[in-house]
Amino acid sequence: MTNPPVLALSDLHKHFVVETDASSKGMGVVLMQEGHLIAFISKPFKQQTLSTYKRELLAILLVVRKWRHYLWGKHFTIRTGHINLKYLLEQKVTCPSQHMWLAKLLGFDYEIEFKKGKDNIAADALSRVTCAELSTLTVSTITTSIMDEIKAAWDSDQDVQTIIQELIKDPNSHPHYLWVNHLLCRKGKIVVDRNIVLQTRLIALYHNSAMGGHSGATVTAKKVANGYY
């Protein structure tokens, strides 16, 4: 799904369709026109105790927040796996969070259709993928060497190696870090060493390439206490 030939360019004169799905892990959304995929997003839930209704509603809010520039001022269709959301505007609002979330949909011209999760293949798959899995998919598919270069930078950085070894021994040793499938993530993002050349290549990749703006993975070079990430 991340190969350039599969992703189509948008046409602002054509009807947009968004499909959403949420699982216990996260939410997945896809933007389409005439059956062609324009963009996709996968995002984990920070709070795991939300009801199915609220998780599915948050997936819809993710759509209008991220793709507002495509959807504002146009009629579009939302396909969701939760049948109660088909009657979203007819339901009685019972809690403050619903008031807040529904207010974010005001001004958009949309209709909601129910689509079973088993038929909503792309969004369903994106809602269940982990950060590491999605990052591996998107980064390694876009370029064959960039992930190897990121890992090579880890190998030559003693501070990174210390974090990795401590996470292998105790996954809770660094609260914001995760070591899984040989990938080091911080707050859900792949850690990139403070290498200016590598960082510049990544910025160009995500902003200037044919895949720019479509990837659901995010890379970080954020500094921490030891001065690196």
Q: Is the pLDDT of residue 4 over 50?
A: no
Binning pLDDT at 50, 70 and 90, where does residue 87 land? Answer: low
Per the DSSP assignment, residues forming a β-bridge with 186 are 177, 189
Signed CA dihedral, 207, 211, 213, 219: sign only: negative
- The whole-number average pLDDT for the span 132-154 is 62
Digit-coded pLDDT (tens) for 89-114: 566 656 677 677 778 888 899 888 88
- For the record, the structure tokens of 116 come out as 């079973």
Query: Where in the sequence of the chain do the CATH 3.30.420.10 domains occur?
Result: 16-128
117: left (phi > 0), else alpha (psi -120 to 50), else beta?
alpha
What confidence score (pLDDT) does residue 129 get?
A: 56
Assign a CATH topology to domain 16-128. Nucleotidyltransferase; domain 5 (3.30.420)
Q: Does the predicted TM-score (pTM) go above 0.85?
A: no
CA distance 80 to 60: 8
Digit-coded pLDDT (tens) for 160-205: 999 999 999 988 899 888 887 788 888 777 888 877 777 777 777 6
